[in-house]
Chains A and B, each alone.
Chain A
Amino acid sequence: MMKEYANIIEVKGLAKTFDGITAVDSISFDVFAGELFGFLGPNGAGKTTTINMLTGLARPDAGSICIGGIDCSRKPRAAQHLIGVVPDESNLYPELTGFDNLCFCGALYGLPKCQRQEKARELLDEFGLTKAADRKFGGYSKGMKRKLTIAAGIIHKPEILFLDEPTTGLDVASARQLRQLIADLHRAGTTIFLTTHYIEEAQRLCERIAFIVSGRIVKIDSVENLLQPLQEKNVVQIICANAKNDIQHKLSESFPDMEFIFSEQNVIRVESGNPILAGAIVRFMEEQGVEVSEARRIRPSLEDVFVQITGIEADVMKKEKEKAGGGKA
Chain B
Amino acid sequence: MKAWVAFWNIMVKDMRTYYLKPPNISWGVLFPLVWIGMFFIRSGLGLESIPDLLPGVMALSILFGTTSVLSVTITFEKKNRSFERLLLAPISLEVLMLAKTTGAIVFGTLNAFVPILIAAFLTDLSDVNWMVIVSAMVLIAVSSTFLGLFIAVSVKEVFEAQTFSNFFRFPMLFLCGLFFPIEQIPMWLRPVSYVLPLTYGVDVLHGSIHQAGHMPLLLNFGLLAAFCAVLFAVSLRNIRRKWIM
- Say how far A55's CB is from chain B's closest CB, in angstroms: 6
B90 CB contact (under 8 Å) in A18, A81, A94, A104 = A81
Q: Any chain B CB within 8 A of the CB of A76?
A: yes
Chain B 4-18, CB-CB to A under 8 Å as 1, else 0, gives 011011100100010
Q: Any chain B CB within 8 A of the CB of A89?
A: yes
Q: Complex formed: what's the CA distance from A204 to B17 in Å?
A: 41
- Say how far B36's CB is from chain A's closest CB, in angstroms: 33
Given A58-B245, A96-B17, residue A108 in contact with residue B80 (CB < 8 A): no
A93 CB contact (under 8 Å) in B6, B8, B82, B245 = B82
Q: Any chain A CB within 8 A of the CB of B84?
A: yes
A108 CB contact (under 8 Å) in B81, B89, B93 = B89
Q: Any chain B CB within 8 A of the CB of A6?
A: no
Q: Any chain B CB within 8 A of the CB of A59?
A: yes
Q: Any chain A CB within 8 A of the CB of B125?
A: no
Q: Complex formed: what's the CA distance from A242 to B89 in Å?
A: 59
Chain A 40-84, CB-CB to B under 8 Å as 1, else 0, gives 000000000000000111110000000000000000110011010
Across the interface, which residues of A come within 8 angstroms of B10, CB to CB?
107-108
Across the interface, do B82 and A91 meet the contact criterion of CB distance under 8 Å?
Answer: yes
Q: Any chain B CB within 8 A of the CB of A105?
A: yes
Considering only residues 53-105 of chain B, those with a C-beta below 8 Å from chain A are 80-82, 84-91, 93
Across the interface, which residues of B come within 8 angstroms of A152, CB to CB?
85
Given A96-B17, A109-B2, residue A55 in contact with residue B82 (CB < 8 A): no
Across the interface, do A108 and B3 meet the contact criterion of CB distance under 8 Å?
Answer: no
Across the interface, which residues of A come within 8 angstroms of B89, CB to CB?
80, 108-109
Across the interface, do B84 and A56 meet the contact criterion of CB distance under 8 Å?
Answer: no
Across the interface, do A91 and B80 meet the contact criterion of CB distance under 8 Å?
Answer: yes
Across the interface, which residues of B come within 8 angstroms of A105, CB to CB?
85
- Say how far A49's CB is from chain B's closest CB, in angstroms: 10
Q: Complex formed: what's the CA distance from A110 to B245 in Å?
A: 26
- Say how far A14's CB is from chain B's closest CB, in angstroms: 14
Q: Any chain B CB within 8 A of the CB of A243?
A: no
- Say how far B14's CB is from chain A's closest CB, in angstroms: 10
- Say how far A89's CB is from chain B's closest CB, in angstroms: 6
Across the interface, do B3 and A57 meet the contact criterion of CB distance under 8 Å?
Answer: no
- Say how far B237's CB is from chain A's closest CB, in angstroms: 13
The count of chain B contact residues (Cβ–Cβ below 8 Å) is 24
Q: Any chain B CB within 8 A of the CB of A85?
A: yes
Q: Any chain B CB within 8 A of the CB of A92?
A: yes
Across the interface, do B84 and A110 meet the contact criterion of CB distance under 8 Å?
Answer: no
Across the interface, which residues of B come within 8 angstroms of A77, CB to CB?
87, 90, 93, 244
Across the interface, do B9 and A95 meet the contact criterion of CB distance under 8 Å?
Answer: no
Q: Complex formed: what's the CA distance from A93 to B86 in Å?
A: 11
Given A87-B84, A91-B82, residue A110 in contact with residue B1 (CB < 8 A): yes
Chain A minimum-CB-distance residue to B6: A108
Across the interface, do A57 and B88 meet the contact criterion of CB distance under 8 Å?
Answer: yes
Listed A/B pairs (27) with beta-carbon separation below 8 Å: A18-B245, A55-B88, A56-B87, A56-B244, A57-B244, A59-B244, A76-B244, A77-B90, A80-B88, A80-B90, A83-B88, A91-B81, A91-B85, A92-B82, A93-B17, A95-B17, A96-B13, A96-B17, A104-B9, A104-B13, A107-B5, A107-B9, A107-B10, A108-B85, A108-B88, A110-B5, A111-B5
> 5 smallest A-B Cβ distances: which pairs?
A110-B2, A107-B9, A108-B89, A81-B90, A91-B81
Which chain B residues have a beta carbon within 8 Å of chain A's beta carbons? 1-3, 5-6, 8-10, 13, 17, 80-82, 84-91, 93, 244-245
Which chain A residues have a beta carbon within 8 Å of chain B's beta carbons? 18, 55-59, 76-77, 80-81, 83, 85, 87, 89, 91-96, 104-105, 107-112, 152
Apart from A56-B88, A80-B90, what are 20 other A-B pairs with CB-CB below 8 Å? A56-B244, A57-B87, A57-B244, A58-B244, A58-B245, A59-B245, A80-B89, A91-B81, A92-B82, A96-B13, A104-B9, A104-B13, A107-B5, A108-B89, A108-B91, A109-B89, A109-B90, A110-B3, A111-B5, A152-B85
